[in-house]
Amino acid sequence: MKRKHSIFVNLFPKFLAISFLFFGIVSPFQAQTLSYGPNISLEQAKKVIAAAEAEAKKNQWNMAIAVVDTGGNLVLFQRLDNTQIGSIEIAKGKASTANNFKRPSRALEEAIEKGGIGLRLLAVPGVFPLEGGELILLDGKIIGAIGVSGAQSTQDGQVARAGVSALSSK
């Protein structure tokens, strides 16, 4: 019995991917034609976090802010004082979701809101379909993503976009 279970666990991610392609689950949410570029540097990540933190502080929002590279790996993380602990994993998850699906995490939230086929996204492990994850682009290429958590999702998104603007405005 254990052997069958371990085979199922090992094959489940492949089964999900094939199911998504075969049954057209991905079609309404096709990845943008964006491509990945070089990974975000630590200095760039610091600028993004600083701008996001400034927006959060301006509004007196306690937030967790994560920046990931093109592989979804954490580059830099910051949690403002008094931010709820639960926001740590959510911020990292939103950043990875935006990066891995090549779109703001809000797009997946909208797909679920519509119901129907979009509800199948809830079965995908590690997906955070909540506003607050944004792509970080440089020269039209994805170099990473930012995820923010700690307030309402719309406020998380506002802070994430403020962080992204730190690189696009310079």
Each residue of 37-54: pLDDT tens digit?
A: 999 999 999 999 999 999
Contacts of residue 139, Cβ cutoff 8 Å, sequence gap at least 6: 37
**Domain residues of the chain, as ranges?**
42-166
- Distance separating alpha carbons of residues 162 and 170, to the nearest angstrom: 13
Q: What is the pLDDT of residues 118-159, one digit of tens each?
A: 999 999 999 999 999 999 999 999 999 999 999 999 999 999
The pTM assigned to this predicted structure is: 0.81
Q: Which fold has domain 42-166?
A: Beta-Lactamase (3.30.450)
Contacts of residue 20, Cβ cutoff 8 Å, sequence gap at least 6: 26, 120
- Distance separating alpha carbons of residues 146 and 132, to the nearest angstrom: 8
